[in-house]
Amino acid sequence: MEPNNTPPILNELFGLHDQVAAVVGGAGRIGRVLCRTLSQAGAQVALLDVDIQAARDVADQIARATSRQLLAIETDTTQPEQLEAAVAEIERSLGPPCMLVNSAQFRGQGFYSSDVESYPKSAWDRVLDVNLTGVHLACQAFARSMAAHGGGRIVNIASTYGVVSPDPRIYGDSGVNSPVSYAASKAGVIQLTRYLAVHLRERNIRVNCLVPGGVFDNQHPQFVEQYAARTPLGRMARAEDYRGAVLFMLSPASAYMTGAVVTVDGGWTVW
Ligand SMILES: NC(=O)c1ccc[n+]([C@@H]2O[C@H](COP(=O)([O-])OP(=O)(O)OC[C@H]3O[C@@H](n4cnc5c(N)ncnc54)[C@H](O)[C@@H]3O)[C@@H](O)[C@H]2O)c1
């Protein structure tokens, strides 16, 4: 893609022209917005997701809207050999990936209980598997390729609930709540990021972490109201609110940044 007519300083700081990016969990609510953003910034984007139909649909939607093609690959991020195969396919089809965003999360059966005393071990295992082990495995697979081709940038997506506890009082009878497994997995992602930043520095790989707040998704109105009331900026997030921070962490603008935890939460964690 030709650099566009934007001021040269913006291309210098934020342009990703024809660099190759992978978004794991790219069919999700935040993942799809990030895929589109990276594509619009000029990157060749591979969208990895366990839900291949959703991945293809998202890739098609973005292609229709932007005239830019994305590569959808069915990948279960808990399976190292599937990640290896995905990296090989990206190298073959688009070239070596130099950017990775880890955006997958588990939200299946048993997930939503917040009853600590009876939280099912099966749900705990699955959440930790996808949200934490999956991030580690994806970083491993992509770091090997990045290291072999001169380096790269990784952004892991954690959560405010990896920094502070959810406030159970805002969930009420909404039927939605945030479980212990999620909090533990997201705290793990933050520390994994710091560890990798140190241990991949000599491979010229920067690793940073986004801490997002809750995205509005037609949740129970009482929950939305209470969440907004507890947020200094007075509303839940839109997935689009995270575009700038992720683009920054992947672009030359953040060349002197690694191991950072970038909080974009409307102020949720400041009080
Ligand atoms: N949405 C929010 O309110 C919010 C708030 C804070 C943090 N986050 C974090 O941001 C990230 C993205 O959130 P989202 O709202 O887009 O999530 P989402 O649930 O909408 O999407 C997650 C995606 O991950 C995929 N996935 C699940 N298991 C997988 C696996 N084993 N291998 C590969 N892909 C798998 C799903 O198919 C789905 O497309 C997540 O890490 C989430 O924890 C989200």
CA 257/CA 155 separation, integer angstroms: 12
CA 10/CA 12 separation, integer angstroms: 5
Each residue's pLDDT tens digit, 34-49: 999 999 999 999 999 9
Cα 12 to ligand 1 centre (Å): 31
Domains of the chain: 8-270 (3.40.50.720)
User: Which residue among 182, 227, 242, 256 is the active-site one?
Assistant: 182
- Cβ atoms 46, 142 nearer than 8 A: no
- Quote the DSSP letter at residue 85: H
pLDDT at 69 over 60: yes
N residues, the chain = 271
- The best mutation among 37, 103, 105 to test binding of ligand 1, ranked by most ligand atoms within 8 Å of the C-beta, falls on 105
Cα 25 to ligand 1 centre (Å): 6
pLDDT at 163 over 80: yes
Give the residue from 20, 165, 177, 164 showing the smallest Cα distance to 95: 20
Over pLDDT 90: what percentage of the chain? 90
Q: Rounded to the nearest 5°, which phi and psi values hold at 6?
A: -70, 155
pLDDT at position 111, please?
Answer: 82
Whether pTM > 0.95 for this model: the answer is yes
Each residue's pLDDT tens digit, 89-99: 999 999 999 99
Strands, E, within the chain: which ranges? 20-24, 44-49, 70-74, 99-102, 152-157, 205-212, 261-264
Cα 103 to ligand 1 centre (Å): 5
Residue 195 CB contacts under 8 Å (≥ 6 apart), including other chains: none
| Orientation angle between helical segments 80-93 and 134-148, nearest 10 degrees | 40
